[in-house]
């Protein structure tokens, strides 16, 4: 079977086989890193991604990689090639440079150039968020850092860490001397090296089986096919110019008015192109909210892909149809040194992804999505202290114990464990029992809150309420949140999600409110408590099927009061279960609304 692309005809069956083979290599790399990583943020929460780029630095395969990690991997492999004209087989490089290609300093990336028959054909990429990177504060999210110096992270601009498959010990010693949990970092570093080397081995086997010429032909065909596919979907859209705005919470005293954001989208259906203009945004600010070029582009690609059919491959071929307009020195764009980009993967990235999806929703079903949960709340804090169980040994780790309400869409309710827009449900959620065994802390509760999901024809997912505290000695809890002032918005008549909240709870139960972004010491007997944002709803709540509302009530997602007042559904209880009274519901919904 043959198909036609921009370069002519190709074997569709062989192309499908090889595309899945490359994805399977990435999945094997992912499984290797998940099973061998030492820190909980990697081996439990899966805050990492693997990918394959081509030798000429195009993203080829990312499988289930997090969009915010992987949609800029080609920039990092390009930086590796630019910095090392002596690139050779057996090399491995460490990169976390936010100014040239990487997401933010906390994401240590191992890049391994893959050679076959003397040619640099691919680069195996393993990127992982570290539990600690030597920041001036015990957190990888230093939101108030006025510049990269105050942030304090060691920056590695594609530095060689292996040559001839042997470790460059000086780099490892630098990291161990600076990072608070050196052996934990080193275990994660070795896991990344192992994952990248697994990718190298499998890619060599693939080239040996099919031959270099066939593999090269596949690469071009696959990227061109991906481009053709996304352009064909864009041509189905109405030609339209869209505009949306957003606002990040205030960050006193640096940003007392928050951060306004502006997104312009030009759908050029005749060209099969989408142009996203982010140039009308503020200049870099003196805190960690600045995006990198990689996360700016990733936020655009993620927002656009969320608004198009799911079958489009996510690679550099598809990227050709999305033109991203950015400028240097902007908070959303290319950062200028030495501005900090500590929070580049989450807060503003999530706002941009949300804004793009909500803008597409103005086209009507089935396009676009509502806004999903924002802000790394108490449930996603970085906790640190000393563990009395092990002679006061220091610990640092990021928690991923919340859920993050997913947005309603044109055909589905929000995903409960969606997380944040930048990960889109691809990360895992911590096991409370595993966290409590590794860190001297106890969870008081973790629960969903009924009626918090943005109501709609398809409702947003609920918010979570989490509380925890130290077991023995005081614990520092640092979180770079958002969403207390501007919660996720509903679209097309759907209601907004709920705002976030955070509290320090004293031993007597007294709750002291905390800001969106907090740095708090929690002492024994105290707990820190957080309510996450929830997903916005898609469509009029009165258009939701009555039997779905009744099911939500039976399962505890929605209360009976909200079913009646918000959804206009009359319920009856026959002694066995709650069900909708269809005739009474139709009558109620036909009445004028308050």
| Joined tokens for residue 57 | 């630095």
Q: CA separation (Å) from 397 to 129, 157, 181, 285?
A: 11, 24, 9, 27
Q: What is the pLDDT of residue 592?
A: 87
Enclosing H/E stretch for 297: helix 293-306
Of 348, 276, 271, 341, which is closest to residue 305 (Cα–Cα)? Answer: 276
Placement of tokens 């005809």 in the chain: 9
Q: Count of alpha carbons within 13 Å of 457, Cβ hemisphere only?
A: 14
Q: Which residues contact 136 (CB under 8 A, 6 or more apart)?
A: 142, 145, 150, 151, 152
Placement of tokens 């973790």 in the chain: 446
Cα–Cα distance, 45 to 67 (Å, whole number): 16
Q: Which residues contact 313 (CB under 8 A, 6 or more apart)?
A: 19, 222, 225, 226, 229
User: pLDDT tens digits, residue range 359-371?
Assistant: 999 999 999 999 9
Cα–Cα distance, 369 to 588 (Å, whole number): 28
Inform me whether the pLDDT recorded for 479 exceeds 50. yes
User: pLDDT tens digits, residue range 268-290?
Assistant: 999 999 999 999 999 999 999 99
Q: Which residues pair with 114 in a beta bridge?
A: 122
Cα–Cα distance, 371 to 489 (Å, whole number): 5
User: pLDDT tens digits, residue range 5-58?
Assistant: 444 567 889 999 999 999 999 999 999 999 999 999 999 999 999 999 999 999
Q: What is the pLDDT of residue 593?
A: 81
State mean pLDDT over 293-314: 95
Three-state SS at 329: coil
| Joined tokens for residue 289 | 């909210």
Give the confidence band of 575 by pLDDT, cuts at 50, 70, 90: confident
State mean pLDDT over 155-174: 96
Helix segments in 127-181, DSSP class H: 148-151, 169-178
Q: What is the pLDDT of residue 30?
A: 97
User: pLDDT tens digits, residue range 65-81?
Assistant: 999 999 999 999 999 99
What angle do helix axes 182-210 and 212-234 make, rounded to 10 degrees? 100
Q: What is the pLDDT of residue 9?
A: 63
| Joined tokens for residue 566 | 């918000």
Cα–Cα distance, 261 to 279 (Å, whole number): 10
Cα–Cα distance, 341 to 292 (Å, whole number): 7
Query: What are residue 287's phi and psi, to 5 degrees?
Result: -160, 180
């Amino acid at each position: 079977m043959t198909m036609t692309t921009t370069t002519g005809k190709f074997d569709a069956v062989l192309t499908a086989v090889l595309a899945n083979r490359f994805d399977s290599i990435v999945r094997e790399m992912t499984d290797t890193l998940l099973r061998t990583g030492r820190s909980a943020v990697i081996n439990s929460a899966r805050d990492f991604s693997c990918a394959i780029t081509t030798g000429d630095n195009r993203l080829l395969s990312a499988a289930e990689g997090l969009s915010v990690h992987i949609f800029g991997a080609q920039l990092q492999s390009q930086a590796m090639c630019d910095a090392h004209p002596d690139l050779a087989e057996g090399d491995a490089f460490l990169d976390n440079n936010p100014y040239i290609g990487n997401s933010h300093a906390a994401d240590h990336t191992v890049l391994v150039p893959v050679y076959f028959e003397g040619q640099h054909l691919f680069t195996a990429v393993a990127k992982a968020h570290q539990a600690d990177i030597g920041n001036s504060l015990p957190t990888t999210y230093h939101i108030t850092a006025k510049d990269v110096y105050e942030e304090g992270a060691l920056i590695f601009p594609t530095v060689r860490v292996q040559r001839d498959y042997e470790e460059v010990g000086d780099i490892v010693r630098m990291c161990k001397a600076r990072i608070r949990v050196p052996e934990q970092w080193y275990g994660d570093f070795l896991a990344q090296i192992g994952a990248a080397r697994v990718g190298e081995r499998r890619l060599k086997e693939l080239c040996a089986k099919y031959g270099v010429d066939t593999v090269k032909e596949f690469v071009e065909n696959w990227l061109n096919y991906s481009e053709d596919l996304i352009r064909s979907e864009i041509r189905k859209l109405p030609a339209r110019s869209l505009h949306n705005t957003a606002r990040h919470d205030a960050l006193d005293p640096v940003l007392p008015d928050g951060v306004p954001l502006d997104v312009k989208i030009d759908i050029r259906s005749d060209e099969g192109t989408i142009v996203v203009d982010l140039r009308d945004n503020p200049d870099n600010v003196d805190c960690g909210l600045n995006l990198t070029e990689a996360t700016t582009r990733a936020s655009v690609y993620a927002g656009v892909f969320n608004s198009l059919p799911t079958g489009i491959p996510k690679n550099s071929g598809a990227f050709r149809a999305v033109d991203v307009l950015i400028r240097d020195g902007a908070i959303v764009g290319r950062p200028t040194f030495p501005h900090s980009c500590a929070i580049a993967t989450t807060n503003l990235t999530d706002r941009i992804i949300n804004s793009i999806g909500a803008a597409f929703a103005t086209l009507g079903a089935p396009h676009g999505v509502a806004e999903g949960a924002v802000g790394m709340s108490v449930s996603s804090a970085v906790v640190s202290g000393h563990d009395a169980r092990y002679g006061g040994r220091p610990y640092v780790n990021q928690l991923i114990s919340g859920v993050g309400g997913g947005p309603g869409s044109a055909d589905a309710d929000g995903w409960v464990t969606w997380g944040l827009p930048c990960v889109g449900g691809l990360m895992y959620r911590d096991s409370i029992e595993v966290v409590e065994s590794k860190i001297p802390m106890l969870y008081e509760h973790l629960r969903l809150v009924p009626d918090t999901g943005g109501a709609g024809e398809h409702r947003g997912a609920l918010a979570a309420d989490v509380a925890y505290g130290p077991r023995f000695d005081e614990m520092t809890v640092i979180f770079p949140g958002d969403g207390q002032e501007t919660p996720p918005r509903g679209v097309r008549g759907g209601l907004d999600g709920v705002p976030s909240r955070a509290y320090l709870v004293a031993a007597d139960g007294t709750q002291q409110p905390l800001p969106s972004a907090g740095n708090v010491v929690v002492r024994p007997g105290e707990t820190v408590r957080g309510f996450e944002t929830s997903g916005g709803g898609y469509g009029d709540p009165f258009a939701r099927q009555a039997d779905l509302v009744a099911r939500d009530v039976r399962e505890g997602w929605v209360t009976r009061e909200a079913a009646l007042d918000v959804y206009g559904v009359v319920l009856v209880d026959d002694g066995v279960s709650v069900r909708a009274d269809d005739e009474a519901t139709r009558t109620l919904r036909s009445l004028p609304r308050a």
